[in-house]
Structure 1
C-alpha cells in the first residue's frame, strides 16, 4: 500500500510541509521508491539498489516526431527533463531497457551512461545492438535474474494489437517488448508492464505475481490510419488492471512527453476520478517520487 508521495528534488522547493509529526515522517529513508523521470523513464529503488528503466535523456525537441504517428509534426521529447541528465543517472546501479525504440533508449542515454554499467535487455538482438554501442556488461533477462538483492522476472506482452501485427511492416517496426516484475524480501512487489496492450500475458503476470504496485505505460499511443487501435495501454486498460487487482496501486506513466501519445495526465485523472478509482491510480509529475 502506498504510504506517502513526495515530489522530486526540483519540486521540493515549492512544497510546504506543516506539523512536526508530519515533517518527521519525511526524515525516514524509504526502502522502496519509484521516481517518474519523463515519458517511460523511471527509477525503481529497493533498499540500496536502484534501477534506471528505459532512459530517454535528450533535451526537449532533439528528435523529429515519429513518422506515421499521431501529431508527427511535433518534435520529441515534447518537454524537458525535470533535472539534469547527469542527475538522472546518478545513483543508478543497473539499467533495464525493455526495448530499443528511441523513446526508451535514445542517443543521449547511450552517450551519457557509463559503458560498464550493468544493463538488462530482453533478447539477443537487443544485446547485440547495445554491445555495438560500446556497453560492456549487457545481460539478457531470460526468465529471471538476481541483482543487488532484487529478483527480476521477465514478462511478456505485445506492442500493439493482432491487427497491427498482421501487417509485416508494422510488426517489424513495433518489434518485441518485455515487462519486468521486481521482488525483494520484505518489500512490495512491483510490475513494470512495459509497452504492451492488454493481453493474456499481462493477465497471467498479474495473476502469478499479485503485484502490490503496477507501473502502466498509459499514454494510448497511436499510428496514423489506425485511430482507436493504440499500441500501448490507455484509460480503459487502467480500469482493467484495477478490476484485476483492486488492492494494487497503479502508477501511470508514458504520457505528455512524446508526440504519438493520445492520452494526457489530465484526461486520465478525470477518467479515474469519474470511475471512483483515483485513490488507487497515481499519476506522478515528472521528477516526482512515490514511496511505498
Structure 2
C-alpha cells in the first residue's frame, strides 16, 4: 500500500485580508501570521516564535505517486515550492511533524533541516524514527508543552473513517495523527487540525479551545477502492468547521500538490462562494501569507 512507501521513504508573498485579519504594513509589526508553503506545509509565526509544520521540501516530481491511491500515476510533489527550500527553513525556531507520512515529512526536509533544530513529534515511535534520521532535539508532544512563549496543545483525530480503519493493512498504514493548538497572550488561538477526517476529537477541540484561526487540511485525498470515503477533510467538512466556529478564520490547505487529493482550491473556492462563507474561508496560494 502507498502508506508503506510514505513511512519507509520518508518573498514574503502577498498578505491576505481575512475576516478580522489585516494585511501587513510597514507601520505595524505583524506578530501572528500563517504562511501556506505547499501541500500541508505551513509556517506559523506566533509572537517572536516561528514554527514550520509538516515540511515536504522536495523538488517537483521527486517521488513516485502513492501506490493504491487516486491518480497514482502522477509523480509527487505535483508542483514546485514557491521559494527555495532554504528560504522556507529560514527563520524557523521549531518544527512540528504531525505524522511521518512522506507528504508531511520527506527526505528533502530530513536532509536540509539543521539536525539540532527543536522538533515536536506526536508519539514515541515517530520521535524514535526522527532521531534515527539524525535529529538530536526531538520532543514528544504529550498533552501540552511550552516553546518560545507559546503554549502547544496536542489534539486528536483519525486519518480516515472507521470503515477504512476496519481494514488491518489500511489501519496500520494510515496510523496515528495529531493536531496542534497554539495559544499565547494577545494572539488569536490557532488550531492546526492535521490529517483527520471530521471526528468527535475535532469537534471537542473546537469546543474546548474556540480557536479564532483554524488551519484545515481539505484536499479530500482518497484510497483506491474507497472512493467517496476520503482520508482527510473536504469541502463539506469546511462548512461543518465554519458552523462550529462561525467567528473563526479558516485557512484551507493540503490541496493541488500531491496525487491523491480529489479537491482543488478552485473547487473549494466555488463551494465556499455558493455557501456564502467566503469572508471566513480562505485557500491561500502557495507562498501566500494570512496576517492577524
Q: TM-score w.r.t. structure 1 length?
A: 0.93
Taking the aligned partners of 2:61 and 2:288, their CA distance within structure 1 comes to 22
Match of 1:287 in 2: 287
Match of 2:69 in 1: 69
1:44-123 matched pairs, under 5 angstroms? 44-123=44-123
Q: TM-score w.r.t. structure 2 length?
A: 0.93
Q: Is contact 1:122-1:177 (8 Å) kept?
A: yes
Gaps of 5+ in 2: 1-10, 16-21
Match of 1:235 in 2: 235
Deviations 1:202-222 (A, max 9, x none): 000000000000000000000
Taking the aligned partners of 2:125 and 2:134, their CA distance within structure 1 comes to 15
Match of 1:274 in 2: 274
Taking the aligned partners of 1:227 and 1:263, their CA distance within structure 2 comes to 13
Match of 1:131 in 2: 131
Residues 149 and 73 (structure 1), Cα distance of their counterparts in 2 relative to 1, 3 Å cut: same
Residues 31 and 156 (structure 1), Cα distance of their counterparts in 2 relative to 1, 3 Å cut: same
Q: Is contact 2:63-2:76 (8 Å) kept?
A: yes
Taking the aligned partners of 1:174 and 1:86, their CA distance within structure 2 comes to 30
Match of 1:40 in 2: 40
Q: CA deviation at 1:124?
A: 0.3
Residues 30 and 281 (structure 1), Cα distance of their counterparts in 2 relative to 1, 3 Å cut: same
Q: CA deviation at 1:25?
A: 3.7
Match of 1:207 in 2: 207
Q: CA deviation at 1:119?
A: 0.1
Structure 2 counterpart SS, 1:191: strand
Gaps of 5+ in 1: 1-8, 16-21
Deviations 1:74-131 (A, max 9, x none): 0000000000000000000000000000000000000000000000000000000000
Structure 2 counterpart SS, 1:252: strand
Deviations 1:10-43 (A, max 9, x none): 645xx9xxxxxx9994442201000000000000
Taking the aligned partners of 2:213 and 2:225, their CA distance within structure 1 comes to 34
Match of 2:4 in 1: none
Aligned residues: CA RMSD? 1.4
Q: Is contact 1:10-1:82 (8 Å) kept?
A: no
Residues 64 and 24 (structure 1), Cα distance of their counterparts in 2 relative to 1, 3 Å cut: closer
Match of 2:5 in 1: none
Residues 72 and 184 (structure 1), Cα distance of their counterparts in 2 relative to 1, 3 Å cut: same
Taking the aligned partners of 2:72 and 2:167, their CA distance within structure 1 comes to 21
Deviations 1:238-289 (A, max 9, x none): 0000011110110000000000000000000000000000100011000001
- Larger mean Cα displacement after TM superposition, 110-119 or 25-34: 25-34
Structure 2 counterpart SS, 1:36: strand
Q: CA deviation at 1:196?
A: 0.3
Q: Is contact 2:197-2:231 (8 Å) kept?
A: yes
- Residue 193, structure 1, aligned to residue 197, structure 2: no
Taking the aligned partners of 2:61 and 2:187, their CA distance within structure 1 comes to 38
